[in-house]
Amino acid sequence: MSRPEEGRSQEASIVVRVWSLIAIPLLAVFMALVVGAVVIVLSSTLVLKNPFDPMLPITAYAALAQGGLGSYDAFISTLVLTTPLLLAGLGVGIGFKAGLFNIGAQGQFLMGAVGSVAVAVTFAHAPAVIAITASLLGGMIAGALWGFVPGLLKATSGAHEVVTTIMMNYIALALLAWIVIGPLRQAGSVSPSTPDVGAAALPILLDRSGHIGIFIAFAAVPIAWFLLYRTTRGFEIRAVGANPDAARYAGVKPRRLIVLTMSIAGSLAGLAGACTILGVTHQMNTTFSTTVGFDSITVALLGRSNPIGIMLAALLFGAMRAGAGPMQINAGVPVELVDFIQALILLFLIANVVLRRLLRLRGVSGAEQTGFDTITRSYGRETTV
């Protein structure tokens, strides 16, 4: 199809392009909230046998917003919950840019937690600055290793990262359990758990829970943006994702770049795990597990793999997590609604063809890898290594 862009005024095309970038994510969130509203009403009347209340969704969403953003306290807890989503989301997003579908954020996150707690226990009595730096680095390195291995496998044998990262997720889970029960088990503890991270605990700077990891996560946004859009390495990452053949002609070595990108992605997810251990839980037990790694995939997709978009998406998800409890207390709507809405957002993002039709949007012209393409390309089509 011809696009008569030639001669089209530049201002108009910028507006069109910005709209075509944000329309789908905005609409996906909106549609998820609409469907969520219907489910709130239905489940309240049909399951909980409450009187029919058409205003309940408004009450619930208001409580959700109030709980996430309504006070200084609420806002800080939103930031705390945003932190791991943001870091891991950036990792997944950078992978998407290179055309890699890194499902392994979960495993990399867990390994980051394991790495940081192992280092922290070792440095428990060292000066705080050293203990913290070493533990954060420990988490990043462990996470990077969990990205490096699938990257190396893809580069050397062509093994698809979707398969290998899922395997690595299970290995991380098993490793975590063994470490907590075995080498790092705190002597005398009733249920298996590691000792407290001691000196490596992240200082609290804001309110009661606002640890320093929040600043690290938000500082990572401009760094990731600079890496992608202002360095030659970032150019190579985006080039390999957008057209591997042309990238090869341009002199990029795709294999090396895949290993590098997966390692960077892993280190970011690992840092997310480290921040959670050192800033929030301060120790690890066998049930240490969150859905951060998987949620970060949705975050990266919702943010269209753009660091700024990922930041906004992570804030949204963080606020919903923070507001879920208050919503249950004040509106009587179970916290699980938040999971439901997140899942709906993912569904509408993936089914963006439907949204496009609703909005009468054509394919986004000039968009780089935004994740959707990476996912669709992950199956069926040959990947060039």
Q: What angle do CA 76, 77, 78 make, to 5 degrees?
A: 90
Residue 5 makes CB contacts below 8 A (sequence gap 6+) with: 13, 365
Q: Taking the CA atoms of 105, 110, 115 and 119 in sequence, report the sign of the dihedral they define.
A: positive
> Which one among 173, 367, 375, 385 touches another protein, defined by CB under 8 A?
367
Q: Which residues, numbered 304-363, are part of the site for another protein (CB under 8 A)?
A: none
Query: Which has the closest alpha carbon to 372: 150, 93, 78?
Result: 93
Q: Is 242 in the site for another protein (CB under 8 A)?
A: yes
# binding residues, another protein (CB under 8 A): 34
Supply the DSSP string of 92-122, one letter for each residue. HHHHHHTT---TTHHHHHHHHHHHHHHHHHH
382 near another protein, judged by CB under 8 A: no
Any contact of residue 383 with another protein (CB under 8 A)? Answer: no
Residue nearer to another protein on the CB measure, 5 or 336: 5
Interface region with another protein, contact rule CB under 8 A, candidates 156-164, 193-201, 247-255, 270-278: 247-255
Integer Cα distance of 104 and 162 in angstroms: 8
Smallest distance from another protein to CB 147, Å: 20
CB nearer to another protein: give 99 or 326.
99
- CB half-sphere exposure, 272, CA atoms < 13 A: 34
Q: How far is the CB of 14 from another protein (least distance, A)?
A: 9
- Closest to 376 (Cα-Cα) out of 27, 99, 97, 88: 99
Residue 256 sits in the site that holds another protein (CB under 8 A): no
Sites for another protein among residues 7-26 (CB under 8 A): 7-10, 12-13
CB of 13 vs another protein, minimal distance in Å: 7
From CA 128, how far away is CA 120, in angstroms rounded?
A: 10
Nearer to another protein, 185 or 248 (CB): 248
**Which residue stretch of 2-10, 28-36, 83-91, 349-357 sits at the interface with another protein (rule: CB under 8 A)?**
2-10
Q: Is 243 in the site for another protein (CB under 8 A)?
A: yes
User: Interface with another protein includes 248 (CB under 8 A)?
Assistant: yes
Query: Residue 243 corresponds to which tokens in the numbers above?
Result: 């057209």
Complete DSSP assignment for 45-85: IIIS-PPP-TTHHHHHHHHHHHHHHSSHHHHHHHHHHHHHH
Nearer to another protein, 76 or 301 (CB): 301
Which of 19, 170, 178, 249 binds another protein (CB under 8 A)? It is 249
Shortest Cβ distance from residue 218 to another protein (Å)?
A: 22
Query: Exposed, middle or buried by CB within 10 Å (0-12, 13-18, 19+), for 136?
Result: buried
Return residues touching another protein (CB under 8 A): 1-10, 12-13, 230-233, 235, 238-239, 242-243, 245-251, 253, 365-369
